[in-house]
Amino acid sequence: MQVPAVLKRTLMKNQIIIHSSGNQDRIALIEDGELAQLFIETEENQRTVGNIYVAQVHKVMSGIRAAFIDMGTPKDAFLHFSDAGDHLDEYISMLNGPNAIPPQARKDVSNKENLSNYDKQLLAGKVLKTGQKLLGQIVKEPIGSKGPRVSTDITIAGRFLVLIPMGDYIAISKKISNYKERRRLKGVLSKMVPDGFGVIVRTVAQDQDNNAIEDDLRDVLLKWENIYYESPTDEVVPKKTVVRLGLIQWQMRPYNGLDELMQQAEYFVDTVSRYRSDFALFPEFFNAPLMAKNNHLSESDAIRSLASYTEEIKNRFSELSISYNINIITGSMPEIVEGKLYNVGYLCRRDGTIERYEKIHVTPDEAKVWGMQGGHSFQTFDTDCGKIGVLICYDSEFPELSRLMADEGMDILFVPFLTDTQNGFSRVRYCAQARAIENECYVAIAGSVGNLPNVHNMDIQYA
């Protein structure tokens, strides 16, 4: 079929032509047969709109209600006070400490919900000071001699939701007009959204099931939690100067299987990650409650049955370390290698890699009752927070092990333990303090409390 000439001209009125070759993409917009716009994108000139940076205030110019922000770009970014958002003071306090808010601005900050938009802009000028750190999100690319335009009203977009860190509301797109659907979405998200976050529900979320909404919420939350993540590089980078530890004091009690035990473990991981901990340390043999169903067996057979869970627990911890953006030290668990029983644990890094460590010196009770063997090797591990070592309980009482680790540059020593008396706990505690003094490093310990009346040889725990 022939296309009429008039229609041909109509169809060809506006065109977009895309050409990609090597490391360069070119996009041309044709209007009425003439070039209207040309975009050229190279690897050195990638789009940055939406990127979030930890930046520094370079200059505050209250006269034009704006500030210039050093984001590491060739030109300072431009922040107009109208783009400061409602949570500027919270981000500044988060990155600089509560005393970073000038005294003359604190009264207005406490009453900011009642301020007009104009007064909020004036407040931004009072809060911002040269040298402060703040989070900035690029909203407009740099043009010519001008730097990028930024906002401190941070948003993280997903497929169905837009996450508002520091927000406390749920907003539904006005294009979702069905009242029942609006109420359903708000009801579903009110149970999912953590405290301290707000969300905007996009139009495409209409009629999506709860699982799809939950998956999208998890994705945007993970982006926020990983906001400080940096891609691996061969360049020398400084270590973190502040490292937070989450030390789990585990309560020994009956659990109805592995799923319930790991649900409790995830609760602790979730909790310490909300405090922005870099490590979570679990105690030695924290999974001992799972031996209860095999209490009719001998002690040696029961501990070997417990070893059947070790691989699954390791894999689940690795998934949690990625999901919650935290390095997890799994305490210790029994493991059978070539028929021999060992006391081992795993370092599950938040980048997905896993390392194994062993207990070198087993206690006389572990050897006699369980038939456990001592390990053969130990090492230090590199992490994004420095070099660490792990000594399981009794191993911390032998100075030579930590001394060799310190020679390798260990910064933090972790000691998961299990003791049943005050004397046993004191021995681990004071030996850990001695290792810290001897090796000039940090030492962190974590143990269990409670009792397991239905597990032989694990009756009571003291920490």
**Catalytic amino acids?**
284, 359, 393
CA distance 364 to 357: 20
Per DSSP, the residues of 444-460 read EEE-EEEE-TTSTT--E
* Amino acid found at 372: M
Work out the angle at residue 399's Cα, subtended by the Cα atoms of residues 398 and 404, and round it to the nearest 5 degrees.
115
**332, 321 contact by CB (below 8 A):** no
* Count of residues making up the chain: 463
The rounded Cα 298 to chain-centroid distance in angstroms is 42
Give, rounded to a whole angstrom, the gap between the first and last alpha carbons of the chain.
86
Determine what percent of the chain falls in helix, strand and coil, rounding each to the nearest 5. 35, 30, 35
Quickly count: other Cβ atoms within 10 Å of residue 198's Cβ. Answer: 18
Let me know the angle formed at the C-alpha of 310 by 304 and 315, rounded to the nearest 5 degrees: 165
146: left (phi over 0), alpha (psi -120 to 50) or beta: beta
Contacts of 248 (CB under 8 A, 6+ apart): 268, 272, 280, 281, 282, 283, 286, 446
Helix (H) or strand (E) holding 311, with range, is: helix 310-323
CA–CA separation, 4 and 93 (whole Å): 66
3-state secondary structure of 280: strand
The CB density around residue 230, as the number of other CB atoms within 10 Å, is: 8
The pairing of strands 24-31 and 156-157 is unpaired
